[in-house]
Amino acid sequence: MVRVGFDGGYVSRELRKVGNALTTPVNLYLIGGAAMIRYGLKAATKDIDVLFSTHEEAVELVRALGKSGYHPVQTSRLTPDYQTMFATQILENADGFRWDIFHESVCRKLRLSPDMIKRAGSLLKAGHLTVWLISKEDIFLLKSVTERDDDVTDLLMLARSKLDWGAVLKECLNQSREDFICEIDLYDKLDTLKTSYGLETSIYDNISKIAQDQMEKWIEDMIIRELDATPTRLDTLLKRFGCEKETLLPSLAHLEKIGRIKREGNGYAVNVPG
Tens of pLDDT along the chain (274 residues) come to 556 789 999 999 999 999 999 999 999 999 989 999 999 999 999 899 999 999 999 999 999 999 999 999 876 555 555 444 446 789 999 999 999 998 878 877 889 999 999 999 999 999 999 999 999 999 999 999 887 778 899 999 999 999 999 999 999 999 998 788 899 999 999 999 999 999 999 999 999 999 999 888 888 888 888 887 577 888 888 888 888 888 888 888 888 888 888 888 778 888 877 5
The whole-number pLDDT of residue 155 equals: 95
CA distance 225 to 35: 42
Q: Crossing angle of helices 234-241/204-226, nearest 10°?
A: 120
Query: Where do the domains of the chain lie?
Result: 1-134, 137-210, 227-270
The whole-number pLDDT of residue 193 equals: 96
Q: What is the DSSP letter of 129?
A: E
CB atoms within 10 A of CB 212: 13
Single pTM value for the model: 0.82
Q: Is 37 helix (H, G, I), strand (E, B) or coil?
A: helix
Full strand arrangement of the beta sheet holding 261-264: 232-233, 267-270, 261-264
CA distance 87 to 168: 23
CB atoms within 10 A of CB 229: 8
Question: Which one-letter amino acid corresponds to residue 195?
Answer: T
CATH code for the domain defined by 1-134: 3.10.450
The whole-number pLDDT of residue 85 equals: 46
Select from 75, 70, 95, 94 the least CA-distant residue to 85.
Answer: 75
